Structure 1
Amino acid sequence: MIVNLPKKDDPFKENIEKITRELANQSFPELDENEQKEHFEKIKENLPKLEDKIRELIDSLKTDILSCDTKQILDYFSALYSFSTPDTVAVDMDSDRSFKLDYLHSLITAISSSNSKECDEKILHNIDETLEKLKIQSLLYLMFTSDFNGEPNQIKFLQSLHHMVVRGDSYSEHKIQMCRELFSKFDEVLKSKYNITSNALIDELINIANYPIKNLEIQKKYFDEMMMAHKDFVQQAEQIHSEEESAAFLEKYKQSDSLKHTNDKLQKIHDETGVSFNDSIFKIHETSLPHEILEQLSIGLGENTDFQNGKIEYFPTNNTHIYDKPIVKISEEYYCYNSASMYYNLQSLLENILLDMIPQNKHQKNYYKKKGEYLEDQSLELIQQILPGCDVYKNLKYGVDDEVDGIVIYDNHIFIIESKSNKFTLGARQGDINKIKRNTKDIVEKAYQQAIRAKKYILSNELVEFRNKNKKTVLTINRKDINNIYLINATLEPLNHISSDLSSLKEFGFIQDDEWIWSIYLNDLRIISEIIELPSEFLVYIERRIKYNDFPQIKMAEEIDIFGYFLSEGLYFDDIDFPKSGFMLNIDSSFSKNIDLYYHWKEGALNEVQKKPAFFDGCKNNIKFLVEKIEKTNKKNFSILTKFLLSLDCYTHELIKEQITLIIKSQRTDFHTYIDNANIGVVFVSKKIYTYDQLYQQCELYAYERKINNWFVIIIDNDSIDFEQFYYENKPSELLEEKVAGLKKYRLQQTLEAKKKVGRNETCPCGSGKKYKK
């Protein structure tokens, strides 16, 4: 039986193709290069006014900050912009609170103030409103000044924008895990000077970051005791009926056991915690950090002088020390006003501590080399977790003296892995085009060239060999066994929109071969390894992810946005005719929202249980169970079949599952489906009627009819799944022509029979095996 797959409605595709047709019928004048420059210069004529507006807003902030107590301002806005409740987490994730807190933190530590006057509500409100206005004007300024050689530059704008408003590159648990793994290699160095291990150091930095919450819990204890005392006081006071009784009652209450008991309880809280009721919740009361490290991570008011330097003083993207020094020191007391910053910058904080201890001439040998080795090991380990049972080879040599960091083989797929632990420097993060070019050459282009070279070597001969460091051959690859070769570049720092839009690097002369590499930040790979449920899902993802680079008209901000879109929508654009020019589709981060919520729930920020996102999660009757069983056979070329099955849409999954159920119930013997452009056909058959020769001939007939070479037979039993693969050349054959003609005639007869009236107790022509009942 043939299962016909009706064309599925695809509103997304239909809308894009409608836009394509409309654009084709319209004519838009294109500006030449000189006209574009002239147009951009006219826009920039308004810059002086915009700069003056920004300076006015910054001066207003400085005036308000200097008018009252700095600590009160920091206390107020750190609480306002830091804390979330389970009900507000989802909204706060998308807010600009971190930008505002970071800016305020930078500005206050850049200007010195000794004013102890209490801030009134109006001043605090003005500061909040001015920060919002400054954000909007600063974004406009970045838009108008993001040019390179006199022309607007998208890379510069996106990178400047990201640096200004986006905070964090990992979920907290992943950032901590990565730091524990990486810096454990340097325990001896830390113990030699500070008598502390990397884990103990990380624990204490996290402890400091969590101080506000712990202090808040202590303040609640004070509050609860005083509320109980107040309740008791009110109950006693209700018995008073005159002023004389009131005065006597107050004198008596001052000497009462209940008041003494309350004071004792409050004193006990102080003795146990060292925290007073009036203390700032951001104050660090006690820490096991070595004093030298505490000082290294602290900044005093007026010490953040670099923040003033720039074309516009105190502009949001100016250099600031708050990320290297997240602790504020005021009058010999230490405060953690920005806990999130401690998590976001944990890796760089630890790196700075280590590099200060290691002589500069030994940085490469004693730090950067080990850092690179960690990235190589960890990226291969994560790939191995995604593809259990794969073969992993590390640090291979080939040819005369060429190297590759790693090769992973899974079924007929080869993954060439390069790892680049170079830093994406501050200047590059701020949008300096020359530094972006220099950094991406080291981080992406070199990895790309190394991976391309290895791939060309693999394809250069029928058999190729790879050696280990001892010159022993440890891997031989037969070109005939290869179905796909994927290039992967693992990085230790996120490249954000650059990784998600590698085509943008072509303007630097990079990524010039007719080939793409998947450049992936280690912690993004970690997320993917935790969410992917089946190895074949990853094969579909990486194939579509690399292909995604062929569609520069589609923009997504970061890797996890792309991955979220894959889980939800499939990330398949091959069948869409996009406009060749004058069109760009920005897909927002909403598709990764459920990933964010899942990890926030895991971290305890949400009360409501969040289900782990999954591929085909919205398709209730998917056939992932079938894919998993086929994977477990581990037969050669199984992944061709599993990728094919996962590439089918939800409707087809449901249809196949329904037909499999009928086969298991003996209500159907077989059915088959195919996709022309994939050159694959699949026959599903009951094990009860399976014979190799018969099915080989049956598939040969299907192959000749459809001109599809690759055919798989999935053999279904009640409790097991197996498969066979057949390949046919489909050369001209008179015999097969006759058989195909006979098959078509038979199908026509079956169709005509099915249209006849079915009598009582006759077998239903639907193929279910059931008898028709009137």
Structure 2
Amino acid sequence: MDEEQRKEAATSVLGDMQAIAAKMRALIVAMPAHDLLGYIYAQYMMKAMAEQNATEEQREPDGPDNLINENQFLLEYVHAVLASDTAPADVTFDEAQCAELYELGRKLREQAILFAMITSSDSKDGVFGPDTADIEYHAKSTWLMLRGNRYQVLEGDFYRYVLAPHNSILKEVYGVSAADIAEGFQAMADATRSGHADAIMEMMTQFEAAQAFAAAAGRPLANVMEEWVKANAEQSNAAGRAMDDIFRGGVANVSRHTKLPQALLADLAYRRGEETEFFAAGDFAGTPYRTLPARKKPLIQLGSDYYAVDPCFTRDAGYRALLYNLLQRKPGYKRSFESRQKKMSEAAFADILSAQLPSATIFQEVYYKDPVSKQWFENDTLILIDDVLFLVEAKAGAAATIASPALDFGRHAQSVQDLVLKAFKQCERFFNYLSSGDEVSLYHLIDGKYEEWGRVRSSDYRVMVPVGLTVESFSPFSAYCKELSQVKPLLGKHAFVSLSIDDLFVLKRLLPTPGEFAHYMEVRQAVAGIRRAHLFDEFDHLGAYLKKNRFDQDIAYQLKGSKVNMLVWDGMSDIVDRCFEGEDWESEPLPTQDFPEEVLKLLAALDAIRACGWLSAESHIRDLGEDGRNNLAKMLTGLRQTLNVHPARYFLLSGGREPLFVWLQRHGHQIEWTKVNDKASATALSVRASNVIGVVAEVGTDGSYRGAQSFAVQIPTVRTEKHAYIYEDAARMVQRGQLNLNRPKNVVRPAKARKLGRNDPCPCGSGVKYKKCHGR
């Protein structure tokens, strides 16, 4: 298709979109708003219930996601029409016209996607170079759909955190605290999530009460209903409200279901006919490529009450509209607002994930002098935990412009640049500085002067993760940003990862330990460095990790030698999505990777001590596949049970990226570190391993792990007189046939060792004083 044909096709599709949108507007405005809302919400509930109860063969191929998108799209249009048109005097509900609305909505979405394909295909070059066409299509298609997975049960967590810095001004302006507002948004989400079920339960309760009243009177129910209503006014009103929730869109009535103040709701709502831009004459009039009113203000005022017509925009549009109106009411607060937003966003990663980052060294507003330009630069947050480094660049602004990409793709491109490329460039500059010397100095800016607070050696860190963090969700661009030609692994090996505060609340819940989180970020970073492999958002990545562990290796294998332009893993988030479904979601067990109980106990013992190198040992164990984990459990169990006879046992397990040497010590017997390291070194030499991960675990008489710690295995590279005995031990192992790596090794009773001094070098071989290493 040449350029002229593309223009003709685009013009034709645009005309079709505008005609369909005009028909939808006419149908929506002609029906009573409450009845139409009730119908749409009820249709979704009935379809979702049918899908849930259907067998695998009966389920529709599009599944529940299509139901969500279909209803969301239609509710967005209902919101747009209610905001744009005053209520006519004569309206009539017509179910056949409702069915036609659904069909028109489907056609409009299809035409809009077709338009995105046609108009993006000729973007050969642009701000993103050869990636411009893909980015433009991504922006336009995403504009039409859900921007990423959201979990309504976490609305309160998000608002509670991001509004906390503005607590005092929110009280002053609206008379309620940040926590109160967060509670209100959570109640708003809960009403649409479980409102129908709650309403049905309420109606059943009142119906049973009325039946009991009739039975007590000895008369038919129909004959006593009027008396029951008079005698039970409160219960009758509750039944009426339940009926309204089910049949007249009452689940969306936030005036009823929240305690949010009138002034705040008014700031988030359109009055009927107030919006004048969406259907105004001009390009894209009434089509999805205009900015839908729900993206500006998520609520609609119907009578004296306020309704959240489309629940899917409540998070982003509500947050943005709330802060906008807060500044409109208090313009003098702008400077303080920006300062507080900056502090909140920069602290968010370490703050929200505090349980995953225990005893981490955290520095904010880190300054350094670039050795090339001689200029001073600043980075937001540096987190150092064991041998893992996180550099977090936070962006407190809106995660996406509300301007349509069809009308102004340049603004969308600027959003990507501001939120991804700027953060990437800042991380890149810092990583280059880290690599500029064996050790580099970092500074704080105090009273206009740069004061050194410490030095960092990149060689101390096995994993270094540069992170770009947004306040609002940036899905799916956050997962897609690795395809940008400008975004490359820093120093050739440290891929850039883009996350949002939304994502952190889910990661915090599903990856509760430091070892789990650090290992996930390792795998996540590996996937971020693989081009042509696409997962929709962060929760698809998390789901893939929980299901497959090293899914980066699966992806690399699938792409190896492949000529496909892109590999797509779809639907991986289902295991995560299910965590936030159902009434008892908070008490339901979380999805986890499968580990034998014995291995989990060893991991817990490593986490309990958190000695130097513990995350490396955890990472190595978590890398193991099913067979490796089972073999490790078998060896641990078998040897642990013999510690009543032997004070220590050891074994070597291969199967991971490096062999794992495990020394089990009876608790109460002093660990003879020199002997431990000598045996580990000899074992490594016997299998010709250049590197071995070492773990020492102490086991109590009851069989419980009292603690575990990793140690650096020092493997001699040249045989000398000093190391001859290690080589001889390795030779004996080979001669005895101990190359069977899963065969347990007996250890002679350790001789009494000299007591180590606190300032002596640690015998584990780390090179650190004993008091700062295993003597902590």
Query: CA distance change for structure 1 residues 191 and 643 in 2, over 3 Å: closer, same or farther?
Result: closer
Aligned twin of 1:299: 270
Q: How does 1:270-289 map onto structure 2 within 5 Å?
A: 280=248, 282=250
Shift of 1:386: 0.7
Equivalent position of 1:25 in the other structure = none
Asked if 2 retains the 8 angstrom alpha-carbon contact of 1:146 and 1:154, the reply is: yes
Gaps of 5+ in 1: 1-37, 239-249, 752-764, 770-774
Tell me what 2:35 maps to.
Answer: 72
How do residues 74-473 of structure 1 correspond to structure 2 at under 5 angstroms? 74-81=37-44, 92=64, 95=67, 96=69, 97-147=71-121, 149=123, 153-166=133-146, 170-204=150-184, 213=195, 216=199, 220=203, 224=207, 228=211, 258=224, 261-265=227-231, 267-269=233-235, 280=248, 282=250, 291-309=262-280, 311-330=283-302, 334-343=306-315, 345-359=317-331, 363=334, 365-399=335-369, 401-427=376-402, 430=405, 432-470=408-446, 471-473=450-452
8 Å CA contact 1:185, 1:370 repeated in 2: yes
Contact 1:78 1:337 (C-alpha < 8 Å) held by counterparts = no
Aligned equivalent of 2:752 = none
Alpha-carbon deviation of 1:154? 1.7
For residues 367-766 of structure 1, the aligned pairs below 5 Å read 367-399=337-369, 401-427=376-402, 430=405, 432-470=408-446, 471-479=450-458, 481-506=460-485, 514=492, 515-574=494-553, 576=557, 578-579=560-561, 581-589=563-571, 591-601=572-582, 604=583, 610-614=588-592, 616-617=593-594, 619-620=595-596, 623-666=599-642, 669-674=649-654, 678-685=657-664, 687=666, 692-705=673-686, 706-715=688-697, 717=699, 718-719=703-704, 720=706, 721-731=708-718, 743-747=733-737
| Contact 2:550-2:623 within 8 A present in 1 as well | no
Asked if structure 1 preserves the Cα contact closer than 8 Å seen for 2:610 and 2:709, the reply is no
Look up the equivalent residue of 2:207 and give its one-letter code. Answer: D
CA 1:685–1:605: 2 relative to 1, 3 Å: closer
Residues in 1 aligned to 2:209 and 2:658: alpha-carbon distance in whole angstroms: 76
Decide whether the 8 Å contact of 2:147 with 2:476 is kept in 1.
Answer: no
Separation in 2, partners of 1:237, 1:704: 91
CA distance in 1, matches of 2:50, 2:456: 55
**Structure 1 position 672, deviation (Å):** 0.9
Which has the larger displacement, 412-421 or 554-563?
412-421
Cα deviation for residue 490 of structure 1 reads: 1.8
Q: Distance in 2 between matches of 1:584 and 1:388?
A: 38
Which amino acid in the other structure matches residue 561 of structure 2?
Answer: P
CA distance in 2, matches of 1:328, 1:411: 51
- Residue 647 of structure 1, CA deviation: 0.8
Residue 75 of structure 1 contacts residue 337 of structure 1 at CA under 8 Å; is this kept in 2?
no
What secondary structure does 1:474 align onto?
A: strand
Q: Tell me: CA distance 1:40–1:534, structure 2 relative to 1, closer, same or farther (3 Å).
A: farther
Change (3 A) 1:148 1:304: farther
Closer/same/farther in 2, CA of residues 545 and 232 from structure 1, 3 Å limit: same
The Cα RMSD (Å) is 4.1
- Report the CA distance between 1:476 and its aligned residue: 2.9
**Relative contact order higher in (CA < 8 Å, ≥ 6 apart):** 1
Unaligned runs of 5+ in 2: 54-62, 126-131, 370-374, 747-776
Per the TM alignment, residue 331 of structure 1 is displaced from its structure 2 partner at its CA by 5.1
Instruction: Describe the shift of the 1:137–1:747 C-alpha distance in structure 2 as closer, same or farther (beyond 3 A).
Output: same
CA deviations 1:27-53 (Å, max 9, x no partner) are xxxxxxxxxxx5676566544443344
Q: Which range is displaced more, 273-282 or 423-432?
A: 273-282
Counterpart code for 2:231: K
CA shift in 2, pair 1:691/1:379, >3 Å: closer
**Displacement of 1:221 after TM fit?**
7.9
For the 8 Å contact 1:466–1:474, the answer to whether it is kept is yes
After superposition, the Cα gap between the structure-2 partners of 1:587 and 1:649, relative to the gap in structure 1 and judged at 3 Å, is: same
For residues 634-660 of structure 1, give each alpha carbon's deviation from its aligned partner in whole angstroms, at most 9, with x where no partner exists: 322232222111111111110111011
- 1:407 aligns to what SS in structure 2? strand
- 2:750 is matched with none
- Summarize the Cα distance change of 1:541–1:744 in structure 2 as closer, same or farther, 3 Å threshold: same
Q: Secondary structure at the match of 2:484?
A: helix
Q: Distance in 1 between matches of 2:279 and 2:103?
A: 22
> What one-letter code is carried by the residue in structure 2 that aligns with 1:121?
E
In structure 2, relative to structure 1, the CA distance for the partners of 1:648 and 1:345 (3 Å cut) is same
For 1:685 and 1:221, the matched residues in 2 are separated by 61
Letter in 2 for 1:102: E
State the AA in 2 paired with 1:62.
R
- Would you say the 8 A contact 1:219–1:277 is kept in 2? no
Report the identity percentage: 16
Number of the residue aligned with 1:758? none
- The SS at the match of 1:454 is helix
Distance 2:489 2:4 in 1: 31
Q: 1:193 to 1:632 in 2, by over 3 A?
A: closer
Q: For residues 366-418 of structure 1, what are the alpha-carbon distances to aligned partners after superposition, in whole Å with 9 as ceiling and x for unaligned?
A: 21221111111222213432121222222232336322222222112222222
Aligned partner of residue 489 in structure 1, secondary structure: strand
What is the one-letter code of the residue matched to 2:508?
S
Change (3 A) 1:531 1:67: closer
For 1:330-362, what per-residue CA distance to the aligned partner results, in whole angstroms no more than 9, with x for missing partners?
455544434454355332232122121232x76
Alpha-carbon separation, structure 1, partners of 2:698 and 2:255:
67
Mean Cα deviation higher: 149-158 or 433-442: 149-158
Kindly tell me the number of residue pairs found equivalent between the two proteins: 691
Q: TM-score, normalised by structure 1?
A: 0.78
Label 1:328 to 1:633 Cα distance change in 2 as closer, same or farther (>3 A): closer
Distance across 2 between alignment mates of 1:308 and 1:518: 39
TM-score, normalised relative to structure 2? 0.77
The answer to whether the 8 Å contact 1:704/1:730 transfers is no
Deviation at 1:263, TM superposition (A): 4.1
Q: Deviations over 1:469-526 (max 9, x none)?
A: 33443333345533332222221122213221332222x6787863422221012022
Supply the distance in 2 between the matched residues of 1:636 and 1:285 (Cα, whole angstroms).
Answer: 55
CA distance in 2, matches of 1:274, 1:304: 32
Q: 1:691 to 1:154 in 2, by over 3 A?
A: same
